[in-house]
A and B are shown apart, each in its own frame.
Chain A
Amino acid sequence: QQQVKQSPQSLIVQKGGISIINCAYENTAFDYFPWYQQFPGKGPALLIAIRPDVSEKKEGRFTISFNKSAKQFSLHIMDSQPGDSATYFCAARINQAGTALIFGKGTTLSVSS
């Protein structure tokens, strides 16, 4: 119940294409769903986040879609660029003070030029 399942493990997209990464969870107590981006040799960095009271959040080319009934959320990267090549992690947090983020296993995205 504490897991966040992420797919696919790796993804290759052509420049200008749409990258889609999916995550699923079981615990309905999760109330915060961020996505982190990690470049080689660096720590993960917060990219975008959503709460379950909205179905979509967009920041530039990055969009989170959230389906509360299906307990799924996804990251869409529009007009994917080579600079987007990185590892992406979804995560979730229980609505309780003092709890930590639980991360998916990550998706390695390669955008070919």
Chain B
Amino acid sequence: DAGVIQSPRHEVTEMGQEVTLRCKPISGHDYLFWYRQTMMRGLELLIYFNNNVPIDDSGMPEDRFSAKMPNASFSTLKIQPSEPRDSAVYFCASSQQGNYGYTFGSGTRLTVV
């Protein structure tokens, strides 16, 4: 298995632009999580899905952030419009019901200038 696949690995964009981050979870995993990592705040949970349905989006910073999971093998996290304070590493992780261990992707490093 290729693990959790995230794209792109790096993204540099100008303030005000739309940014879309992508994630392919491990096949058979029914939970998908989006986390944001910064030096100041560590790993913050943004949103997670179970069987493609959003369960808890209370960590999404504001309306500029949205996430979708149209099918079991793909999820997106979109920021529109982007701001410099959104600069961070965004991780996607997946897990299987009954198995508490998460498998993380390698992350997308987002820089908003």
Which chain A residues have a beta carbon within 8 Å of chain B's beta carbons?
32, 34, 41-46, 49, 89, 93, 97-98, 100-106
Total CB contacts across the A-B interface at under 8 A: 48
Q: Does B70 contact A (CB under 8 A)?
A: no
Taking a contact as CB atoms under 8 Å apart, the answer to whether B107 and A43 are in contact is: yes
Q: How far is the CA of A46 from the CA of B103 in the complex (A)?
A: 8
8 A Cβ contacts from B45-65 to A: 45, 48, 50, 55-56
Q: Does B85 contact A (CB under 8 A)?
A: no
Taking a contact as CB atoms under 8 Å apart, the answer to whether A98 and B102 are in contact is: no
Taking a contact as CB atoms closer than 8 A, the residue among A32, A34, A46, A104 that contacts B42 in the complex is: A104
Q: Tell me how far the C-beta of B79 lies from the nearest C-beta in chain A, rounded to whole angstroms.
A: 20
Q: Tell me how far the C-beta of B41 lies from the nearest C-beta in chain A, rounded to whole angstroms.
A: 7
Neighbouring A residues of B104 by C-beta, 8 Å: 43-45
Q: How far is the CA of A103 from the CA of B41 in the complex (A)?
A: 10
Taking a contact as CB atoms closer than 8 A, the residue among A34, A44, A106 that contacts B100 in the complex is: A34
Taking a contact as CB atoms under 8 Å apart, the answer to whether A34 and B45 are in contact is: no
Neighbouring A residues of B97 by C-beta, 8 Å: 97
Q: Does B12 contact A (CB under 8 A)?
A: no
Taking a contact as CB atoms under 8 Å apart, the answer to whether B4 and A89 are in contact is: no
Q: Tell me how far the C-beta of A89 lies from the nearest C-beta in chain B, rounded to whole angstroms.
A: 6
Q: Does B93 contact A (CB under 8 A)?
A: yes
Q: Tell me how far the C-beta of B50 lies from the nearest C-beta in chain A, rounded to whole angstroms.
A: 6
Neighbouring B residues of A102 by C-beta, 8 Å: 45
Taking a contact as CB atoms under 8 Å apart, the answer to whether B101 and A100 are in contact is: no
Q: Does B43 contact A (CB under 8 A)?
A: yes
**29 A–B contact pairs at CB < 8 A?**
A32-B100, A34-B100, A34-B101, A41-B106, A42-B107, A43-B4, A43-B91, A43-B104, A43-B105, A43-B106, A43-B107, A44-B91, A44-B104, A45-B104, A46-B103, A49-B101, A89-B42, A93-B100, A98-B50, A98-B55, A100-B45, A100-B56, A101-B33, A101-B45, A101-B102, A103-B35, A103-B43, A104-B42, A106-B43
